[in-house]
A and B are shown apart, each in its own frame.
Chain A
Amino acid sequence: MSSSPLKTMLRICSPRFIVTMVAGFALMVLGAVTSPIVSAATSGSPQKGGSPSVPPQVEKINTSIAATWKDYSLKPSPMEDDLKWCRRVFLNILGRIPSFEEIQEFAKDKSPNRKQLLVDRLLNDDRYTEEYAANWSTIWANVLIGRNGGMEDRSLTNREGMLKYLRDCFARNRPYNDMVYELVTATGSSKPGTENFNGATNFLAMKVNEEEGVQATSAVSRTFLGLQVQCTQCHNHPFNEWKQQKFWEFNAFFRQTKSLRRFISGTRDVAHIELVDEDFSGESRRPDKADLFYQMRNGVTKVAYPVFVDGTAIDKSGYVQQINRRQELGKLMMQSPYMDKMIVNRMWAHFMTYGFTRPIDDLGPHNPSSNPELLEELGKEFRNSSYDLKQLMTWIVLSDPYQRSSRITADNVTDDPTVGEPPRFTHFYAKQMRAEELYQSLVVATQADRKGSLEEQEQRRSNWLRQFVVAFGTDEGDETSTFNGSIPQSLMMFNGDLMKEATSLEAGSWLQRISTTAAPAAEKVQYLFAAGLARKAKPEELNTAKSLLDARKNDTAAMLQDLWWAILNSNEFIINH
């Protein structure tokens, strides 16, 4: 890998510049006055804290993907610049770009396994635990209850309860299978601070009462098994192996479950819900063989009992004491290879932009996968790792395809999933940050929105995110985001309050502190490019800065403000590449 970006970083951050940076942030990370060049030169042996080696699963990924390249006569792009890879990893694991100091820390690390060390830090260092948990709980809350979940009129979902449960899971790195079992079988109260609180109940809180648990049926099968059954609710789907019978057999697992509303005393306002399992007497009123009926398209009525997707039937009793149907379902799911493949596909898509199938949560036999053996293999490896999500993340981010440049070359230009081709992972597929990632990047990298208590900050974040959510107003809670690269997003980036704060020159602001250091203006410009784009400014960009400085009548702070606005508004900033 090229060392030029490394040199670049070192040049940007001359010792004098570091020392003269405002107290606190730069000094804290870089330590004393020691020149990073000197310390880098003397290092080279593994750093303190042990040296994680590359896990064998990485090799499996590399071999398998390289074979695909050969099969399709494609050549991968060169390896990505290390600092860009670093930015990528921060965005994908912590949900934000690295701060200048963090890039610096990585850049000055001369050890041959500095990439492993970085991944290890992000996943296991205490200083990141909270951010890691916050990022993944946000991602999973969006998967489980949607971006709008808990915001609906008369919602039964408690978003904070959902997040609290998830944060706890990710902070402790709970095994994935345990998490799935808990989400599927949870009982208790949805709201933090109430008796019997169990935040996991929020996943199903709004999916069991109406329409006989139809939402729970499709959400559980889709989210955790990658089986799309919603169309088979009404009819046998021509392209789906799933038939209507299977849908209702799966649905039968949820028939004991109810969301009981708990009201604010003296009112009809729902305070929270209690998710419970109750005896299900069946539609024929025979609890020992509790059945349900559904109607076929031709008007014929058929009966269904709980049967898992692989054909395993459980006892038909509706008595919870004899058979807790959700717990039985949970146990059966734990055995299913679909569960393993679904999470691998989801995580792969998170890091690699595209999964092995499109959509990622449709693994049915009608929907071919781009790399079926690798998906299968990684599923098994993940199971063997005791469902350790951090290990799975490590395998992916250290893999060869993840480290490839996002630059498209003549030898892989046909590998273009945007035109509908199956992804071959010859280059990293650039994609726009999610709204949450942009927010967090501005907060952490430019220290925007740091005012007020943590609760106030969280409230502002949540309000800011909500402006982009559009609900379609259907029972399924369908929604979309206008944070999609269209004009409203651009207007927010040009003029929004958050951006005003990120580019503020108020006393104590990030930009103001940089502008008041003693470093020459050119160094300050380099600082902005490093912090925002993880690279050095090009000569023409320095010239532009110079022209801006003239236009601002030699007011460096104002010039930096202009430039920072331009950097934050650029495609290069907002596109994870």
Chain B
Amino acid sequence: MWNRFATPSGMDRRHFMSHMAGASALMGSSLAMGNSLRLHADEMKKNNKSAILLWMGGGPATIDLWDLKPGTSNGGPFKPIATSGSAQICEHLPLMAKQMHNMAIVRSMSTREADHNRGRYYMHTGFVPDPNIEHPSYGSVIAHELMGQREGLTIPPFVSVGGASEGPGFLGMAWAPFAVSNNGRVRDLGSPDSLDQQRLMQRMAALNMIETGFNNQKRGSAGEDHRKILGKTLDVMTSKQMEAFKVDKEPAEVRERYGRGFGEGCLLARRLVEAGVPFVEVDLGGWDMHMNIHTTLSTTKLPELDKAMSALMEDLAQRGLLENTAVIWMGEFGRTPRINGDAGRDHWARAWSTVVGGAGIKGGIAVGATNEDGTEIASEPYSSEDLMASVCKALGISLETTFQSRSGRPMKIANGGKIITELFA
């Protein structure tokens, strides 16, 4: 699997650095630029695990997807169907039903943030928003932890597909998501012919001098962050591994199987994981259905999700990637069990579901339960922190890992969440 890091040719970072050494003699400038952080390489054993987060922006009605309440006034029109696992799911997810032996539904998520921004932040970081500190998101944390195991990865370790994800917080912009659209097209990559590469290196040397001079004046962290990004930008412009972004290189039948839009994003996620990227988030928005929810779900949203997500699961399994890849499906919260006057559902964080699988997580099960009408949980509650801790465990990341915020505050990974033990039985 790791031979995927073919020896880079052309102009990658190392090549660049050696050119810079030449340019350095020419320019007489110091060239410490682009020393990317290589952390934690010590403690952990070789770890080639990755995670794909399928982010359902807007808050999906999990009562209509994964935890149906047929026959109650809250149930809505959808019927449950059997799956390849033991749990039943919505009839409008027939393709996913065949993949559920690899997935676990956590039906007792219970959180407190029912506002989009707050919920998105909390589910992405494990922390409630705090105006005085920005916590790093899932992708930044996991990329930061696993990057040390990715010698030779020259593309960004955290890719956000079709959305913006959440930021790196106090880990700094070097761990920010690299945002691309579903089709993987990266803007402004520059053409290798447009400017001769030697000239680019000379420009970079001049740029480096100005950057360094500015940072030496101690005008705050923004300047340092800027400088760290430059080397990464060159990587993106020159790395052969950028091929992974070219979804259109896939055979037509594969592309057809995944579907367009979000499906392309999922296909891109598989390609990136295959190339060694530790964390990919794929966004599917539009779940904020305050009106006519069941029509929208059955005619557009669920078919789109079903096709793409099932293709991803199937593909990962067939390629043997699933044992090393955690897949997480979640949004910022669930939706009200009670159907409102506009035939919609509003925000509901007290009782809802997430779905996880892969990387050793036990599939085919439902963990926890909600009460009869779906308004409350009827078993031990699980939080964003708990889910994140469980994902970290699946990825082989120690839950003893502690970060330090810029102010020196120690912060435990996953905010000290506890592992959802049923997922690892």
Asked if B206 and A563 make an inter-chain contact with CB atoms under 8 angstroms apart, the answer reads yes
Asked if A408 and B220 make an inter-chain contact with CB atoms under 8 angstroms apart, the answer reads yes
Asked if B217 and A484 make an inter-chain contact with CB atoms under 8 angstroms apart, the answer reads no
User: CB < 8 Å: which of B114, B202, B233, B406 contacts A418?
Assistant: B406
* A367, B209: Cα distance in complex, Å: 43
Asked if A486 and B179 make an inter-chain contact with CB atoms under 8 angstroms apart, the answer reads yes
Task: List, in ascending order, chain B residues with CB within 8 A of A547's CB.
Answer: 26-28, 202
User: CB < 8 Å: which of B116, B220, B406 contacts A430?
Assistant: B220
Q: Is B210 an interface residue (CB 8 A)?
A: yes
Mask for A402-419, Cβ within 8 A of B = 1, else 0?
Answer: 000011100000001011
Chain B min CB distance to A290 (Å) = 18
Residue of B nearest to A359 (CB): B131
Asked if B117 and A486 make an inter-chain contact with CB atoms under 8 angstroms apart, the answer reads no
Asked if A474 and B57 make an inter-chain contact with CB atoms under 8 angstroms apart, the answer reads yes
Mask for B198-230, Cβ within 8 A of A = 1, else 0?
Answer: 010011111101110111011111110111011
Chain A min CB distance to B121 (Å) = 11
* A231, B113: Cα distance in complex, Å: 9
Task: List, in ascending order, chain A residues with CB within 8 A of B59's CB.
Answer: 474
Determine which residue in B28, B131, B290 has the highest number of CB atoms from chain A within 10 A of its CB, and name it.
B131
Interface residues of B in 68-108 (CB under 8 A from A): none
A419-B406 in contact given A562-B203, A572-B214 (Cβ < 8 Å): yes
Mask for B1-38, Cβ within 8 A of A = 1, else 0?
Answer: 00000000000000000000000001111000000000
Asked if A407 and B218 make an inter-chain contact with CB atoms under 8 angstroms apart, the answer reads yes
Mask for A539-566, Cβ within 8 A of B = 1, else 0?
Answer: 0110111011001000000000011011
Chain A min CB distance to B190 (Å) = 4
Asked if B188 and A429 make an inter-chain contact with CB atoms under 8 angstroms apart, the answer reads no
Q: Is B318 an interface residue (CB 8 A)?
A: no
Q: Is B173 an interface residue (CB 8 A)?
A: yes
Residue of B nearest to A470 (CB): B164
Chain A min CB distance to B136 (Å) = 14
Asked if B179 and A488 make an inter-chain contact with CB atoms under 8 angstroms apart, the answer reads yes
Asked if A473 and B285 make an inter-chain contact with CB atoms under 8 angstroms apart, the answer reads yes
Asked if B220 and A541 make an inter-chain contact with CB atoms under 8 angstroms apart, the answer reads no
Q: Is B237 an interface residue (CB 8 A)?
A: yes
* A359, B190: Cα distance in complex, Å: 38
Q: Is A485 an interface residue (CB 8 A)?
A: yes
* A84, B350: Cα distance in complex, Å: 52
Asked if B57 and A572 make an inter-chain contact with CB atoms under 8 angstroms apart, the answer reads no
Q: Is B319 an interface residue (CB 8 A)?
A: no
Asked if A472 and B116 make an inter-chain contact with CB atoms under 8 angstroms apart, the answer reads yes
Give the interface size class of chain A. Answer: 35 or more
Asked if B210 and A577 make an inter-chain contact with CB atoms under 8 angstroms apart, the answer reads no
Q: Is A43 an interface residue (CB 8 A)?
A: no
User: CB < 8 Å: which of B116, B189, B408 contacts A478?
Assistant: B116
Q: Is A496 an interface residue (CB 8 A)?
A: yes
* A577, B217: Cα distance in complex, Å: 11
Residue of A nearest to B186 (CB): A491
Q: Is A506 an interface residue (CB 8 A)?
A: no
Task: List, in ascending order, chain A residues with CB within 8 A of B190's CB.
Answer: 491, 494-495
Q: Is A24 an interface residue (CB 8 A)?
A: no
Asked if B288 and A418 make an inter-chain contact with CB atoms under 8 angstroms apart, the answer reads no
User: CB < 8 Å: which of B176, B187, B220 contacts A467?
Assistant: B187
User: CB < 8 Å: which of B58, B131, B177 contacts A474?
Assistant: B58
Interface residues of B in 257-303 (CB under 8 A from A): 285-286, 288, 290-291
Determine which residue in B133, B176, B190 has the highest number of CB atoms from chain A within 10 A of its CB, and name it.
B176
A488-B187 in contact given A494-B237, A577-B219 (Cβ < 8 Å): yes
Asked if A421 and B28 make an inter-chain contact with CB atoms under 8 angstroms apart, the answer reads no
* A488, B187: Cα distance in complex, Å: 7
A571-B215 in contact given A234-B347, A472-B163 (Cβ < 8 Å): yes
A538-B164 in contact given A406-B219, A491-B188, A575-B226 (Cβ < 8 Å): no
Q: Is B115 an interface residue (CB 8 A)?
A: yes
Residue of A nearest to B168 (CB): A486
Q: Is B49 an interface residue (CB 8 A)?
A: no
Mask for A469-496, Cβ within 8 A of B = 1, else 0?
Answer: 0111111101010101111101110111
Residue of B nearest to A545 (CB): B206
Task: List, in ascending order, chain A residues with CB within 8 A of B132's CB.
Answer: 358, 420-421
How many residues on the B side are at the interface (Cβ–Cβ under 8 A)? 72
Q: Is B178 an interface residue (CB 8 A)?
A: yes
Asked if A420 and B405 make an inter-chain contact with CB atoms under 8 angstroms apart, the answer reads yes
User: CB < 8 Å: which of B26, B213, B220, B226 contacts A551?
Assistant: B26
User: CB < 8 Å: which of A419, A470, A487 contacts B407?
Assistant: A419
Interface residues of A in 364-421 (CB under 8 A from B): 367, 406-408, 416, 418-421
Interface residues of A in 482-526 (CB under 8 A from B): 482, 484-488, 490-492, 494-496
Q: Is B232 an interface residue (CB 8 A)?
A: yes
A419-B405 in contact given A470-B164, A488-B178, A565-B203 (Cβ < 8 Å): yes
Asked if A487 and B206 make an inter-chain contact with CB atoms under 8 angstroms apart, the answer reads no
* A431, B199: Cα distance in complex, Å: 30
Task: List, in ascending order, chain B residues with CB within 8 A of A543's CB.
Answer: 27-28
Determine which residue in A421, A543, A544 has the highest number of CB atoms from chain B within 10 A of its CB, and name it.
A544
Asked if A571 and B214 make an inter-chain contact with CB atoms under 8 angstroms apart, the answer reads yes
Q: Is B374 an interface residue (CB 8 A)?
A: no
Asked if B187 and A492 make an inter-chain contact with CB atoms under 8 angstroms apart, the answer reads yes
Task: List, in ascending order, chain A residues with CB within 8 A of B177's CB.
Answer: 486
Asked if A230 and B115 make an inter-chain contact with CB atoms under 8 angstroms apart, the answer reads yes
Task: List, in ascending order, chain A residues with CB within 8 A of B153's CB.
Answer: none
* A547, B26: Cα distance in complex, Å: 7
Chain B min CB distance to A10 (Å) = 22
* A277, B345: Cα distance in complex, Å: 28
Task: List, in ascending order, chain A residues with CB within 8 A of B407's CB.
Answer: 416, 419-421
Asked if B406 and A490 make an inter-chain contact with CB atoms under 8 angstroms apart, the answer reads no
Interface residues of A in 409-448 (CB under 8 A from B): 416, 418-421, 429-432
A485-B225 in contact given A491-B186, A544-B27, A567-B210 (Cβ < 8 Å): yes
A473-B286 in contact given A487-B236, A490-B230, A562-B202 (Cβ < 8 Å): yes
Q: Is B184 an interface residue (CB 8 A)?
A: no
Task: List, in ascending order, chain A residues with CB within 8 A of B214's CB.
Answer: 570-572, 575
Residue of A nearest to B177 (CB): A486
Asked if A566 and B206 make an inter-chain contact with CB atoms under 8 angstroms apart, the answer reads yes
Q: Is A210 an interface residue (CB 8 A)?
A: yes
Chain B min CB distance to A460 (Å) = 15
Task: List, in ascending order, chain B residues with CB within 8 A of A572's CB.
Answer: 210-211, 213-214, 223
Asked if A407 and B217 make an inter-chain contact with CB atoms under 8 angstroms apart, the answer reads yes
* A176, B207: Cα distance in complex, Å: 43
Chain A min CB distance to B291 (Å) = 8
Task: List, in ascending order, chain A residues with CB within 8 A of B194's CB.
Answer: 495
User: CB < 8 Å: which of A230, A430, A475, A574 contacts B288?
Assistant: A475
Chain A min CB distance to B156 (Å) = 6
Q: Is A71 an interface residue (CB 8 A)?
A: no
A570-B211 in contact given A487-B229, A490-B230, A551-B202 (Cβ < 8 Å): yes
Q: Is A125 an interface residue (CB 8 A)?
A: no
A485-B206 in contact given A420-B405, A494-B233 (Cβ < 8 Å): no
A566-B163 in contact given A406-B219, A407-B217, A430-B220 (Cβ < 8 Å): no
Determine which residue in A407, A408, A491, A574 has the highest number of CB atoms from chain B within 10 A of its CB, and name it.
A491
Asked if A485 and B233 make an inter-chain contact with CB atoms under 8 angstroms apart, the answer reads no
* A416, B133: Cα distance in complex, Å: 12
Task: List, in ascending order, chain B residues with CB within 8 A of A491's CB.
Answer: 186-190, 233, 236-237
* A238, B248: Cα distance in complex, Å: 51
Interface residues of B in 135-191 (CB under 8 A from A): 156, 163-164, 167, 170, 173, 176-179, 186-190
Known: A420-B405, A476-B117. 8 other contacts (CB 8 A): A230-B115, A362-B131, A485-B176, A485-B222, A485-B226, A486-B176, A490-B230, A570-B207
Mark B residues whose CB is within 8 Å of A.
26-29, 57-59, 114-118, 120, 130-133, 156, 163-164, 167, 170, 173, 176-179, 186-190, 194, 199, 202-207, 209-211, 213-215, 217-223, 225-227, 229-230, 232-233, 236-237, 285-286, 288, 290-291, 347, 405-408
CB pairs A–B below 8 angstroms (9 shown): A429-B220, A430-B223, A431-B222, A474-B58, A474-B59, A486-B176, A487-B232, A533-B210, A540-B213
